[in-house]
Chain A
Amino acid sequence: EAEVAQSPRYKITEKSQAVAFWCDPISGHATLYWYRQILGQGPELLVQFQDESVVDDSQLPKDRFSAERLKGVDSTLKIQPAELGDSAMYLCASSFHRTETQYFGPGTRLLVL
């Protein structure tokens, strides 16, 4: 069964450093999502891509976060500089179409010291 891949699974960094997370969606899925999940809460959408274009980044802190999906397949989410409050699980999801069911990857757990 096809799955969404994410790496790394865990990342520890010091504040003010740069971090990057990678996501490979299920093959053929045009829509890709990045979520952030703070411990004890549900996931919150950061950014949504349709192919290579951003269609919703209203909740993305653009002063320090950036996301790209250059060829419309895999995607990278970057934080620069990382802050203590960025410690969370970062989840990637994909769907065949933006109206369809989303399938999530295993996530990257970030700890900022």
Chain B
Amino acid sequence: DAKTTQPPSMDCAEGRAANLPCNHSTISGNEYVYWYRQIHSQGPQYIIHGLKNNETNEMASLIITEDRKSSTLILPHATLRDTAVYYCIVRSRRLNNYGQNFVFGPGTRLSVLP
């Protein structure tokens, strides 16, 4: 079972920031938070990941709460091409952690509206 909970759907106006929440209240100290997105009929696309500090790259920003029980993915200026299903996943990166693979939940369907 997925270790995260996300709202099933969200809308965002084009040009505005899209803030996608994720709850991971049972996250352990060695587990990272990963975000992927999947545009219709394509493979999932890696967006960003983090452990406990906020992270930013050319696609998005990831804000992780101090207790690490939740996070928010921020798309600063959403475009129509950002319409997709967004998956939040927690996963260990410990070297001896066989079997700790990505477990995808149903994700959040983000619709960017013109």
Contacts and interface: CB of A to CB of B under 8 A. Distances in A.
- Which secondary structure dominates where chain B touches chain A? loop
B6 to A, nearest CB: 10
Interface string A40-57: 111111001000000110
Interface string B80-92: 0000000100001
Interface residues of A, number: 25
Contacts of B105: 42
Interface stretch (B13-21, B70-78, B96-104): B96-104
Contact of B43 (A41, A44, A107): A107
Interface of A: 4, 33, 40-45, 48, 55-56, 89, 91, 93, 98-107, 109
Interface of B: 2, 34, 36, 41-46, 49, 87, 92-95, 97-99, 101-107
